[in-house]
Structure 1
Amino acid sequence: MDTAETLLDRARAAGATIATAESCTGGMIAAAITDIAGSSAVFDRGFVTYSNAAKTQMLGVAPKTLEAHGAVSEAVAAEMAAGALARSDATLAVAVTGIAGPGGSDHKPEGRVCFALARRGAAPVAETVEFGPRGRTAVRAATVAHALDILIGALPG
């Protein structure tokens, strides 16, 4: 079974609904979920917040968080996930922000992606994954796969 299908089956069984907040993937996580027929029973909405202004305006990410940590940080990912949850009817939200490439820096290298999961009644949980300089397409695909896995892991098996 496809990962997105597994996610939808588990979410449906748990009565969970999902929102996404995406930067470096530009909506690819939402697309992976909504590619599956029947996803409307589980998928509430997706936010594509590529710019810092969009993160602030659409998700409520604090400008001071962006200034202190930069867009590619666990702090920003956590605020993105919390904002997506607060601005939706979902019970779970996943957020991603990263450097898909090409490029990056010594401080924030290509392939670094910060993820966060928010659920009703709990503080967001964030993590950073270093996918390495695989190239833009591969980093984005790996990000989508990992985000789906995070959502699956948040649901009863």
Structure 2
Amino acid sequence: AETIKWHPSINTSWEDKNIQFHGSVNLAFGVAIDDGLLTPVVNHAEKLSLIELSAQAKTLINKARARKLLPDEMLGSTFTVTNLGMFGIDFFSGIINPPNAAILSIGASSQKPVAGTSNNIVMGETMMLGLSCDHRLVDGAIAAKFLHSLSENLENPSSMLV
């Protein structure tokens, strides 16, 4: 949510042939069920701590899996996150959840050789991220800047505190 705030074009939608900028970050989470997909929404995610966001998302995801979501718990998303990592998928392109401008795809994490702090090779945890965008709202440069910021924030979480 913090990274989305820094890139307001990511938090838009296409409505009535116009770009709508959203003041709040309402995160939808793609949840696979036997016969489809549900997208529970954590509203005002930008106001939550990481712990609060995680707790709310977990509660809603569990409700989705149990098919106990209320209709209003699936409304108002401005950005969607989907994860196929638990199926061992390294990378995929998510399908945009209209009217959102983009969807973040998260692949499986794995141990791979990476450059260490002294330019030596060490094993490190890696994960592939993908971003599918509605090009009417988000072009490649904006998407790349967002992914770069997100990657920096994930690799250096303390950078979000300044």
TM-score, normalisation: structure 2: 0.34
Q: Hey, which of these two has a bigger chunk of strand by percent?
A: 2
- Pick 1 or 2: higher relative contact order, CA cutoff 8 A, min separation 6: 1
Q: Based on CA coordinates, which of the two structures has the bigger radius of gyration? A: 2
TM-score, normalisation: structure 1: 0.35
Q: Hey, which of these two has a bigger chunk of helix by percent?
A: 1
